[in-house]
């Protein structure tokens, strides 16, 4: 784990620095949406809708619990999975919600991913893995345009879930205070400068990154860190309850998960199986571990329960990996073999988890 330290009692800095997760509450959310609620059935808010676990429940909650009339918005940058599309159709069909899809030039987006994966393999650095996802960051830009075009002021994102704080992704870039409240845009100015400097250094060390995809990356940086944004984050108001979310989606909408996998997170995102494969191969853990660690800190799971979950969740999702590499035009087996050959940042002879 990058930037990790332990005190005399063996407690790590991430546990010592953890602040209990609090939310503003349902009443605060009701007060927030009340002035915007439509009285004639016209759309009154827009919600970013990937078809994944959190956004699907968020759409349900806005429509069924808050009585809003949302427009669901999807930015298709070439990595929206077939599974996500089916789940999107289930939700918007049953809820009777308008669904606007803005599609990028899919061939170009996938070419950009291929170029960046190829460049990364020449000089693997875990801090640069996020470059593979640069193409999806324009979602905020187009969602703002959709809202403005429809004269809608209230825009919802189902990000900001603090269980998803992934300090290690910033730690690999030597940044210790990234993603406050689970929202990338809230990164302090010093952090924005450091992340820019880190990427610039990597570009100099590995000129293969300087390819046609660089313009997409610049756009992503501007949207993420410089563009003024005024989104409402659902999980800053209501508690994130895994069992309730998954059971609601499955029971009321027939929400689908990957065959042969117990994973319910990131199933909408075609990139996640690959970047988690990298993190696991290099560091011995994935974002699933950090998610479950935060649940342990909140008293929602025991360490034993968390270990059992990540043991299943960290298994390579081969069907999803094959879809990803087929989409970007690379040989799955060759790329994974190259990743497996990267030196480990942990001692593979030692057990990763205490039994």
CATH number where 334 lies? 3.40.50.620
Digit-coded pLDDT (tens) for 252-297: 999 999 988 888 999 999 999 999 999 999 999 999 999 999 999 9
132 located within any domain:
yes
In a domain, 110, yes or no: yes
CA distance 319 to 81: 12
- pTM above the 0.95 mark? no
pLDDT, residue 355, reads: 43
Is 169 among the domain residues?
Answer: yes
* CA distance linking residue 42 with residue 22, whole number of Å: 33
pLDDT computed for residue 262 by the predictor:
84
Full domain range(s) for residue 212:
17-340
- The residues pairing with 233 across neighbouring beta strands, listed in sequence order, are 157
Sorted by sequence, the CB contacts under 8 Å of residue 97 that are 6+ apart come out as: 59, 63, 70, 71, 72, 91
pLDDT digits (tens, 9 = 90+) for 10-50: 999 999 989 899 999 999 999 999 999 999 989 999 999 99
Residue 346, domain member (yes or no): no
**DSSP string across 263-304:** --SSTTBTTHHHHHHHHHHHHS--HHHHHHHHHHHTTSS-HH
pLDDT value of position 118: 97
Residue 225 CA to residue 134 CA, distance in Å, equals 12
CA distances from 329 to 108, 121, 292, 314 (A): 12, 15, 33, 24
Spans of the chain below 70 pLDDT: 178-182, 351-355
Identify whether 177 is part of a domain.
Answer: yes
Q: Minimal CA–CA distance to 129: which of 349, 337, 287?
A: 287
How many domains are contained in the chain?
1
Q: Is 350 left (phi over 0), alpha (psi -120 to 50) or beta?
A: beta
- 190 touches 173 (CB < 8 A): no
Would you say residue 300 lies in a domain? yes
């Amino acid at each position: 784990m990058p930037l990790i330290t332990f005190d005399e009692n063996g407690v790590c800095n991430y546990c010592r620095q953890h602040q209990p997760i609090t939310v503003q509450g349902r009443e605060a959310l009701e007060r927030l949406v009340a002035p915007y609620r439509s009285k004639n059935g016209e759309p009154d808010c827009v919600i970013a809708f990937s078809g994944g676990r959190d956004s699907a429940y968020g759409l349900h909650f806005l429509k069924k619990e808050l009585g809003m009339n949302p427009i669901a918005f999807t930015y298709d940058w070439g990595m929206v999975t077939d599974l996500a599309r089916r789940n999107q159709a289930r939700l918007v069909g049953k809820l009777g919600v308008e669904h606007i899809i803005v599609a990028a030039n899919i061939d170009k987006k996938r070419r950009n991913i291929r170029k960046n994966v190829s460049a990364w393999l020449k000089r693997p650095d875990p801090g640069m893995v996020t470059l593979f996802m640069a193409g999806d960051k324009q979602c905020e830009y187009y969602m703002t345009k959709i809202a403005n075009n429809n004269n809608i002021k209230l825009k919802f994102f189902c990000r900001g879930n603090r269980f998803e704080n992934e300090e290690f992704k910033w730690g690999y870039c030597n940044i210790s205070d990234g993603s406050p409240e689970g929202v990338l845009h809230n990164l302090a100015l010093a952090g924005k400068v450091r992340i820019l400097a880190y990427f610039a250094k990597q570009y100099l060390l590995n000129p293969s990154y300087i390819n046609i995809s660089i313009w997409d990356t610049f756009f992503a940086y501007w949207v993420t860190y410089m563009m003024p944004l005024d989104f409402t984050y659902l999980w800053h108001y209501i508690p994130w309850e895994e069992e309730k979310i998954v059971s609601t989606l499955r029971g009321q909408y027939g929400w689908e998960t990957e065959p042969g996998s117990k994973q319910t997170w990131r199933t909408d995102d075609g990139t996640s199986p690959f970047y988690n494969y990298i993190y696991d191969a290099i560091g011995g853990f994935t974002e699933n571990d950090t998610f479950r660690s935060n649940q342990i800190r909140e008293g929602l799971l025991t360490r034993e329960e968390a270990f059992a979950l990540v043991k299943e969740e960290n298994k390579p999702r081969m069907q999803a990996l094959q879809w990803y590499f087929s989409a970007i035009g690379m040989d799955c087996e060759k790329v994974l073999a190259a990743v497996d050959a990267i030196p480990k940042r942990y001692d593979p002879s030692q057990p990763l988890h205490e039994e």
